[in-house]
Each structure stands twice: as structure tokens, then as C-alpha cells.
Amino acid sequence: MKNINAGIKGEAALKVSENELAVNVGSGSLEVFATPVMVMLMEKAASCCVASYMENDETTVGTEMNVKHLSASPAGSDIRAEAELTEVNGRELVFSVKAYDNCGLIGEGTHKRFLVFGERFTEKAKAKLQ
């Protein structure tokens, strides 16, 4: 990993379609933006934040997510997630994450990712099937 310092930021965005509604992803019965999709977008923002610092076969995987979904968003909303790297503890990376819709903040929390070597990590996971 290239030298990485706290303070860098990443972003990810989407427009809420029928595919991202709680009723359609199995996380509830309402036609509102699903919490698991918000979490996915926050993870994507964090992953994008550090992607250019990875070298060779390095990548990061999510290991912990602690968020609050503060406000509902209907289909058609534009959602933007932001991640800011707040701590670097060796291979563990800690982020502050936030999500916004057209009207403001809809979610916030913390997220941890861990630097791994892609091929070795994947092989270890596949070994569980043997």
C-alpha cells in the first residue's frame, strides 16, 4: 500500500430505482430506499476512497459497519454517500461515512475496512467449500 493518511475522501452515488427499495430487497415492506443499499453505497465510497493507494494484488474488504439510517427516501431520489478516512491502524482503515438524499443527511456512522491480498483472500474463502 502506498503511504496513506487520514483525511482523504471518497464518494459514490445512485438514483433510487425500484431495485433499491426495501420492499424489493427483502429488508422491509415499504417502498423507500433500503438500508442495506445505503450501507452498500457507503462501503463503495470507502472502497473508492483508498483504491488508488492499493498496489499489486492489494484490495480492501469491509469488516465492520455501524450506521444509523436517519431519514426515508422515495424512489427517484438521488443518493450520495461520502467516506472520509479517519484512522490508519496498520492494515485496518477506519472511515466516517455519511449518506444524503435531495433534502439532506439520511444516514451516518463508521465503517472499517482491512487491507488484504486479493488472490490469497479469495483462495482462503473458496477453501471453505472443500
Per-domain residue ranges of the chain: 9-129
Nearest to 72 by CA among 37, 97, 35, 98: 35
Q: 56-86: string of b/e by CB count within 10 Å (b at 16+)?
A: eebbbebeebebebeeebeeebebbbbbbbe
Q: Given this model, what pLDDT does residue 1 score?
A: 87
Q: Given this model, what pLDDT does residue 29 score?
A: 98
Q: How far apart are CA 57 and CA 110, in angstroms?
A: 26
Q: Given this model, what pLDDT does residue 4 score?
A: 95
- Cell digits of residue 46: 470507502
Give whole-number Cα distances, 46 to 6, 29, 109, in Å. 12, 29, 12
Q: Mind listing the pLDDT tens digit of every residue in the chain (130 residues)?
A: 899 999 999 999 999 999 999 999 999 999 999 999 999 999 999 999 999 999 999 999 999 999 999 999 999 999 999 999 999 999 999 999 999 999 999 999 999 999 999 999 999 999 999 9
CATH fold of 9-129, please?
Answer: Thiol Ester Dehydrase; Chain A (3.10.129)
Q: Tell me phi and psi for residue 2, to 5 degrees.
A: -65, 160
